[in-house]
Structure 1
Amino acid sequence: MNTPTQPAIRTEGLTKRFGPTLALDHLDLEVETGEVFGFLGPNGAGKSTTIRLILGLIRPTAGRALIFGTDAADIVASHSRLAHVPADVALWPDLTGAVVLALLAALGPGTDRGYRAEVVDRFALDPDRRCATYSTGNRQKVALIAAFATRAQLLILDEPTTGLDPLMEQQFRICLREATDRGQTVFLSSHQLAEVDAVCDRVGILRAGRLVDVAGLTELRRLRTTELTATYAGAVPAGLRADLPGVEAVHRISASTIAVVLSGAPGAALQQLATDDLVAVDVREPSLEEIFLGYYGGAGS
């Protein structure tokens, strides 16, 4: 696959109003070729509106979205380089899964049929059943199989693991890794923060139509405190200081255990904590969910 020189996705001042409602407010975003980009935000943040604009399904009020340098409004050109898995997969009820996969392959930018057969087996899909008999998870499998089998340069996945059990989620992650190994770019919108944490290179966080931040996961975690817990064979040594560089607070959990809240590198704190009586140290990084909620001050924001 030839690597395009343009970013896979670029938005420039992308704005969308629905009457008096500002759904998306001057979004400037770049998704680099070959990366897995996570797109996060609570319901109503503007994620679905952004995806519809990127797909050219609605027109922006202002600004534009580009797919490998092509305006998303040119649907024929932009869709020749992408595949999309929607949040709510609707299939033709009277067709079998196999027929739908064949139809989607004929409409798309090229499909590896041998790989598709392999992924059908991995996802344990019965392709001979009518789509009307499929559960939500099986409909999702059809869309995912079609997307992963395509050789489109960009995969846009909106809540892609809806209805999948943990084993199928594992298969999803394997297919995702294989897609990036082939040089494909993935734009992943998801509420499954553990999933995003596991597979994404960078994430963008959207709130009320505005981009809060874009960062690599390691960089994003550094924006939040880390907790270091030290356990001693006897009593916690006296004189542990809270004024070391990067130390936000020191909390005594029990007579033999202390917690140190860090906002920077742990080296100075570890040197002070390391005595002959130290028996265990646990360093806990914040999860993506904790970071995410930190931006909003609570789950309901």
Structure 2
Amino acid sequence: MIAIKNLTFNYAKKQQPLFNELDCELQTGSIVGLLGKNGAGKTTLLKLMIGLLFPDKGDISILGHEPSKRQPSLLQDVFFVSEEFHLPSISINNYVRANAAFYPRFDKELLLRLIKDFELPETKSLQKLSYGQKKKFLISFALATKCHLLVLDEPTNGLDIPSKSIFRKVLAGSLDEDQLVIISTHQVKDVENLIDKVLMLDNGKFIMQKGLYEIGSQLNFSTVSSAEGEHILYSEMVPGGFRVITPQENGNSNVDIELLFNAIANGHENLKKYVQ
């Protein structure tokens, strides 16, 4: 589905590259979480993947296409929901009539169900909707395209608590096995129950590319009363005790992605062998 090899990119030639020989492979049938600190280049990487930016060096292949060529055969199979967007002054119905035909797998019945779930007004001008309503419509349209690649940049920003719950439900229930979803977010708690693989960017490299099942088989995430002990790899104080990461002794643990991200972002050396 996606193959990135030796990717190098920078906005200013005289500065240190934002990405330096970045490598990654992603397959269909998964929801991937793209994580990183502010300025790590998450949105830039997404734009490189879909051909809105061009690499300085290296190769990107999406469904066998080079995205920078912007070929219609690829564009009809990729949908990008940006954190910042503009929608025209037309109704939802008119937007769908104007744009659905560009996506051969478009599912009108799915769109109508999602619009109903999100309680969106079909005849009201998109410009008169709130930011959260606009975001819900774009997410609904993206899912209805049935594109093999869906790229969502901060999809839960602007959504209220009930809408975030609906987002998780509709995303989990609307995907086919031949689709790949990439979610870039800082709101990890909003999507951690959906994600099955984590990519973490830092200093121009992926410092982690692992499935959650593999992580949970190597590390245990729990809440304890004390953070003392040589076996504790990382800890954070929480109400009622400490959230800790320890080596997995048996079984498989539910992964606390936010705790893991904080541990790795803070440079804890004793976690390196588990994530690299």
TM-score by length of 2: 0.82
* TM-superposed deviation, 1:185: 1.3
Amino acid at match of 2:127: A
Alpha-carbon contact 2:219-2:247 (below 8 Å) kept:
no
d(CA) in 2 for partners of 1:185 and 1:260?
A: 31
SS at the partner of 1:63?
Answer: strand
Q: Does 1:13 align with 2:12?
A: no
* CA distance in 1: counterparts of 2:242 and 2:115, whole angstroms: 49
Q: How does 1:157-168 map to 2 (within 5 A)?
A: 157-168=152-163
When residues 295 and 228 of structure 1 are mapped into structure 2, their CA distance, relative to the original with a 3 A threshold, is closer
CA contact (8 A) 1:224 1:291 kept: no
Match of 1:170 in 2: 165
Distance (Å, rounded) in 1 between the aligned partners of 2:153 and 2:223: 36
Match of 2:75 among 56, 79, 82: 79
What is the correspondence of 1:1-301 to structure 2 with a 5 Å cutoff? 8-19=1-12, 20-21=14-15, 22-76=17-71, 77-92=73-88, 94-221=89-216, 226-227=221-222, 229=224, 247-248=231-232, 263-266=246-249, 287-297=256-266
One-letter amino acid of the structure 1 residue matched with residue 38 of structure 2? N
* 3-state DSSP of counterpart to 2:68: coil
RMSD across aligned positions (CA):
2.9
Write out per-residue CA displacement over residues 11-55 of structure 1, whole angstroms, 9 at most, x where no aligned residue.
111111111332222211111111111111111101111111111
Moved over 6 A (4+): 258-262
Q: For this pair of structures, how many residues does the alignment match?
A: 254
Any conservation in 2 of the 1:248–1:260 contact (CA below 8 Å)? Answer: no
CA contact (8 A) 2:219 2:248 kept: no
Matched AA of 1:70 = H
Equivalent residue of 1:194, what SS? helix
How far apart in 2 are the matches of 1:199 and 1:286?
A: 12
Alpha-carbon shift at residue 186 of structure 1 (Å): 0.8
Q: CA-to-partner distance for each residue in 1:215-272, whole Å, 9 max, x for gaps? A: 1124335665645648xxxxxxxxxxx7xxx8459xxxxxxxx9997733446xxxxx
Report the Cα offset of residue 147 of structure 1. Answer: 0.6
Q: Tell me, in whole angstroms, the C-alpha distance in 1 between the residues paired with 2:53 and 2:243.
A: 50
2:272 maps to what in 1? none
SS at match of 1:110: coil
Determine if contact 1:24/1:49 at 8 Å carries over to the other structure.
Answer: no
- 1:90 and 1:139 in contact (8 A); partners too: no
Give 5+ residue unaligned stretches, structure 2: 234-240, 268-276
Structure 1 residue runs of 5 or longer lacking an equivalent are: 1-7, 231-241, 250-257, 268-283
Which residue identity is paired with 1:287?
Answer: D
Quick one: which amino acid aligns to residue 64 of structure 2?
G
**C-alpha separation between the residues in 1 aligned to 2:223 and 2:132?**
40
Question: What displacement does 1:178 show?
Answer: 2.4
Return the offset for 1:79. 1.3
**Residues 141-178 of structure 1, C-alpha deviation per residue, up to 9 Å, x if partnerless?**
12111111112111111111221112211221122212
TM norm structure 1: 0.75
- Residues 196 and 214 of structure 1, relative CA distance in 2, 3 Å threshold: farther
Query: How far apart in 2 are the matches of 1:293 and 1:262?
Result: 11
Distance, in Å, in 2 between the alignment partners of 1:145 and 1:46 is 26
Comparing 55-64 and 190-199, the one that deviates more: 190-199
Q: If you compute each CA radius of gyration, which structure gives the higher value, 1 or 2?
A: 1
**Change in 2 beyond 3 A, CA 1:172/1:266:** same
* Pair 1:227–1:137, CA change in 2 (3 A): closer
| Contact 1:83 1:108 survives alignment (8 Å) | no
Deviation at 1:90, TM superposition (A): 1.2
Q: State whether residues 154 and 184 of structure 1, in contact with CA within 8 Å, keep that contact through their aligned partners in structure 2.
A: yes
Call closer, same or farther: CA 1:14–1:136 in 2, change over 3 Å: same
DSSP 3-state at the match of 1:18: coil
Give 1:87 shift.
1.1
